[in-house]
Amino acid sequence: MAQILAPLPLPGFSLHSGFMATKGHTFVAKGRDSWSDKASFLVSYASPTGEAIAPFLEIVEEQKKQISFRTMEGQEVMRIVKQTHAWGFKPTTYHGMRSDGVEAWSLKLKQNLSGTQYQVTINGTSAASSNVMMQNKVNGAEKGVLINGQLGASMSRHEVWSHMHRIDLINVAPGMDILFALGLNWIRADKQKQEEKAAISAAT
């Protein structure tokens, strides 16, 4: 279900020009091409009940570990580059690139005894001084993105066992960077996909 999140304090949290939410939004990200190992999602504006209303952008893995976020007109507005390391000695890192090719943020997945930590680094903007954390079970959602302690976005997988394709609901607060929130949700989906593949491999 859609959630109404309180606005972030001014001046908000902006990493990608033109994509800071001026009001609260809920998006639904639907997986496509479930037969393929490459990422493919359609992100749409969602109704209060979580139903897709109008397409917003698409997520396409055009090259291995190169994930393009594009408007419906085909313009790339963000790219995530996934960096993995042989044998898993170093954490998987995701690099969030702006449309001009400059890295705006990065995220490392670090394993410890309590589970997986999402370590976010913000690069070279006025938002770099912000404290960004991802936390489980926030405001009734599976995962929340906290900006200086305030909820900027929340995300949950929708009806896990009732759909052939993955469906996620992402709520974005006024003042939050929309692309950053959608990028973090995709990383969460990618992490869970790799865990599911590892579990299947271990069972065979």
pLDDT, one tens digit per residue, over 183-197 is 999 999 999 887 766
Nearest residue to 169 (alpha-carbon basis) of 51, 54, 78: 51
Residue whose C-alpha is closest to residue 185's, from 159, 167, 161: 167
- The whole-number average pLDDT for the span 123-136 is 85
Q: Tell me how far apart the alpha carbons of residues 30 and 2 are, in angstroms, rounded to a whole number.
A: 15
Alpha carbon dihedral 60, 203, 168, 54, in 10-degree steps, equals 50
Residues 87-122 as b or e (16 or more Cβ within 10 Å = b): eeeebbbbbbbbbeeeebbbbebeeeeeebebebeb
**What mean pLDDT do residues 90-99 have?**
93
Q: What is the pLDDT of residue 160?
A: 59
Domain boundaries, the chain: 25-203
Q: Where are the beta strands (DSSP E) in the chain?
A: 25-31, 40-46, 52-63, 66-71, 76-83, 92-98, 103-112, 115-122, 132-138, 141-147, 150-157, 167-172
What is the structure's pLDDT at 158? 75
What pLDDT, on the 0 to 100 scale, is given for residue 204? 59
Q: What is the CATH number of domain 25-203?
A: 2.40.160.200
Write down the pLDDT at residue 19. Answer: 97
For residues 121 and 193, the model is more confident at: 121
HSE-up of 147 (CA within 13 Å, CB side)?
Answer: 28
DSSP 8-state class, residue 49: T
- pLDDT, tens digit (0-9, with 9 covering 90-100), for 101-115: 999 999 999 887 777
Helix ranges (H only) for the chain are: 178-203
pLDDT for residue 66 is more than 80: yes
Cβ-based neighbours of 180, under 8 Å, separated by 6 or more: 13, 15, 16, 96, 104, 105, 145, 153
Q: What is the pLDDT of residue 164?
A: 67
Q: Give pLDDT, residue 115.
A: 76
Q: What pLDDT, on a 0 to 100 scale, did the predictor assign at position 20?
A: 97
Q: What is the mean pLDDT of residues 17-34?
A: 91
Residue 29, judged by CB atoms within 10 A of its CB (0-12, 13-18, 19+), counts as buried
Residue whose token pair is 């929130």: 181
**pLDDT tens per residue, range 147-172:** 999 999 999 987 655 556 789 999 99
